[in-house]
Amino acid sequence: MAAAAAATPDYLFNLRNHFYLGAYQAAINNSDLPNLSPEDAIERDCLVYRSYIALGSYQLVITEIDSSAATPLQAVKLLALYLSSPESKESTIASLKEWLADPAIGNNPILRLIAGTIFFHEQDYNEALKHTNVGGTMELNALNVQIFIKMHRADYAERQLRVMQQVDEDHTLTQLATAWLNLAVGGSKIQEAYLIFQDFSEKYQMTSLVLNGKAVCCMHMNNFDEAETLLLEALNKAMFYSLFIDAKDPETLANLIVCCLHLGKSASRFLTQLKLAHPDHILIKRSATAEESFDRAVQTVA
C-alpha cells in the first residue's frame, strides 16, 4: 500500500509551485486538471481561490463559494471577507474563532492556515501561533517561519526551518523559508538568499515575489542600481499582464521608495501610489508619524 501511495503522481505539484512563487494568474490558468481525487479537487479549488484573493478579486471568491462548500473552501471565503471589508473585520474574526472552537472542523489544516494568515495580518502573532505552531503541512511550517521572523525570533524560525528540511529540503517552501531566514539574519547569509531567488528566476516564471526577493538582497548588499532595475521590472510585468492589483503591489512600491531614496532620486510618485492603494502600509504610517513630528517641531520653533 505504501509503495502504491508513493507511486501516485502529484497532479498539483505545478499548481502549488505557481502559487507559492506568486504566479497567481498562471495558477488560475493551469488549474483545469484531470483525474483529481475529491481531496485533491478541494485543494486545487483552494489554491485557485487563494490566487484570486492574491490578485484582489475578493468578490469573485465570496460569490462563488456557497454555504454547501467544504470546510477548507469556507475558510478561504472567510479570508476573502476579511480582506474585502475592513469595517466587518471584527465579525469575520468572531466567525473564525467560532469555527476554530468547533471540534468537528477546528483542526482542519486549511482553516488553521487561514487563521494564522488573518492573525498575522492583525499582527497578533501569539494568537496566530496558537493555530499554526503544531504544523502538519509545509504551508503551516512556512507561515511559522514568517511569524517567528516578525517576532525577531530567528532561533525559533531556524528550528521550524529544520523541520521543513527534514521533510523535504528541496521543497519550494523550504527554499523560500531559507531565503527569508537568511535575509533576517543578514551578513554573509544575504548572498545565499540571493542565490536562492536567482535559482527560482532561472527555473520558474519570473514573478513579483522573486524579483522583490532578489531586489531586497541587492539593497542589503548596497547594490541599489540592480535593485531598482529588478523592482521596475516587477511593476512592468504586472502592467504587461494587466494585473493592475499587482501593479500596486505594496512591497514593490515600498522597496522602490527605499531604493530611490538611497539613489538620491525622487520617490514621490511611488509614495503617492502606495498611499492611495495601501494607506495602512507601515511605510505610510511611519511617513505620517515623521511628518507630524516635524510639524510639531516647526510649531515649537515658531
Rounded distance, CA 207 to CA 238, Å? 9
Query: What contacts 45, CB < 8 A, 6 or more positions away?
Result: 73
Q: What is the pLDDT of residue 117?
A: 97
Residue 269 grid cell: 510618485
Rounded distance, CA 35 to CA 31, Å? 12
Q: Where are the domains of the chain?
A: 208-297
Rounded distance, CA 294 to CA 292, Å? 5
User: What sign for the dihedral angle of Cα 126, 80, 64, 47?
Assistant: negative
66-71: Cβ within 8 A, 24+ apart: 70/42, 71/99, 71/105, 71/108, 71/110, 71/111
Q: What is the pLDDT of residue 292?
A: 56
Q: Which of 99, 97, 55 is nearest to 74 (CA)?
A: 99
pTM beyond cutoff 0.95: no
Per-block mean pLDDT, blocks of 10 residues, the chain (302 long) = 60 96 95 94 98 94 96 97 90 96 95 97 96 94 97 97 97 98 96 97 92 96 96 78 54 92 90 80 71 58 58
Q: What is the pLDDT of residue 291?
A: 58
Query: What contacts 133, CB < 8 A, 6 or more positions away?
Result: 144
